[in-house]
């Protein structure tokens, strides 16, 4: 696999819209041609080489192209946006919209990410080793459907509205989440290994959410329908005892979602 290395040249003031940083765009291009690709910074289009030193040529295809970003790029947005194949490794933190609308390939962020990571993912793997801000795996504002496929893994914590509008795919957060995880979910699987604050599964009418820790404010629209132990969901194991709920009954829908909450961590439910 051909490897292209992007080394940040320094601190960035105005955020850069860099959806050009994908294996699909880099494939078949030399290092010089990659450096000439245009990205937006405010009202101006500027060459990628203004912000990165570029080393290495792209592969013949996206599948044969690997991109390594060598450092923190918290003010570079849309890395991996819409990618279909190949690999991106970011050795540091990344800006907003990393992996948005990706349908294939693999992105690893060895750090934290800003909001909208994996927005409306269709396929592939997005792995974040740190924490994520709001709207990870969520639908874009005004859209009803978030992730439809793929896998999003967050090793740390995530903020609010994880998986909002999710229709398919899988999200796993090894840490805890804030508010309205799985809001309007209608398909797919969300697993939270830690705690959740409030609004879990609000307005959901399909899909599955598992919370391995405590839920601070549990919604009244969920009805307990049983209990299960040592879950196996889409090949993912969730050990322990869980209370099983159906909901959200606060909305009118023919179908309901399934919410599992740790029995030991939620004795008051």
3-state helix, strand, coil in the chain (%, to 5): 5, 40, 55
C-alpha–C-alpha distance, residues 104 and 147, integer Å: 13
Predicted pLDDT at 102: 98
Predicted pLDDT at 140: 85
Predicted pLDDT at 188: 97
Predicted pLDDT at 258: 97
Residue among 159, 75, 171 at smallest CA distance from 121: 171
**Under-50 pLDDT residues of the chain:** none
Predicted pLDDT at 251: 85
Predicted pLDDT at 57: 98
Predicted pLDDT at 265: 92
Q: Give the mean pLDDT of the chain.
A: 96
């Amino acid at each position: 696999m051909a490897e292209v290395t992007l080394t940040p040249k320094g601190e960035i003031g105005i955020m850069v819209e860099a959806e050009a940083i994908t294996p699909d765009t880099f494939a078949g291009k030399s290092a010089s041609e990659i450096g000439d690709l245009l990205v937006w910074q405010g009202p101006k289009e500027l060459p990628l080489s203004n912000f990165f030193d570029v080393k290495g040529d792209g592969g013949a295809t996206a599948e044969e192209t690997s991109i390594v970003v060598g450092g923190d790029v918290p003010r570079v947005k849309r890395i991996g946006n819409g990618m279909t194949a190949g690999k991106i490794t970011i050795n540091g933190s990344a800006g907003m919209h990393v992996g948005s609308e990706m349908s294939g390939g693999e992105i690893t962020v060895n750090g934290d990410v800003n909001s909208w990571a994996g927005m409306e993912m269709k396929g592939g793997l997005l792995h974040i080793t740190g924490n994520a801000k709001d709207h990870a795996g969520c639908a874009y504002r005004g859209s009803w459907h978030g992730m439809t496929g793929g896998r999003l893994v967050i090793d740390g914590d995530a903020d609010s509205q994880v998986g909002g509008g999710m229709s398919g795919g899988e999200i796993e957060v090894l840490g805890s989440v804030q508010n309205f995880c799985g809001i309007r979910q209608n398909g797919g699987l969300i697993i939270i290994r830690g705690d959740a604050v409030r609004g879990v599964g609000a307005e959901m009418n399909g899909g599955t959410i598992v919370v391995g820790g405590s839920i601070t404010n549990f919604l009244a629209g969920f009805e307990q329908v049983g209990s299960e132990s040592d879950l196996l969901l889409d090949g993912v194991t969730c050990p322990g005892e869980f209370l099983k709920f159906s909901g959200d009954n606060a909305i009118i829908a023919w179908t309901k979602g399934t919410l599992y909450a740790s029995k030991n961590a939620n004795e008051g439910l």
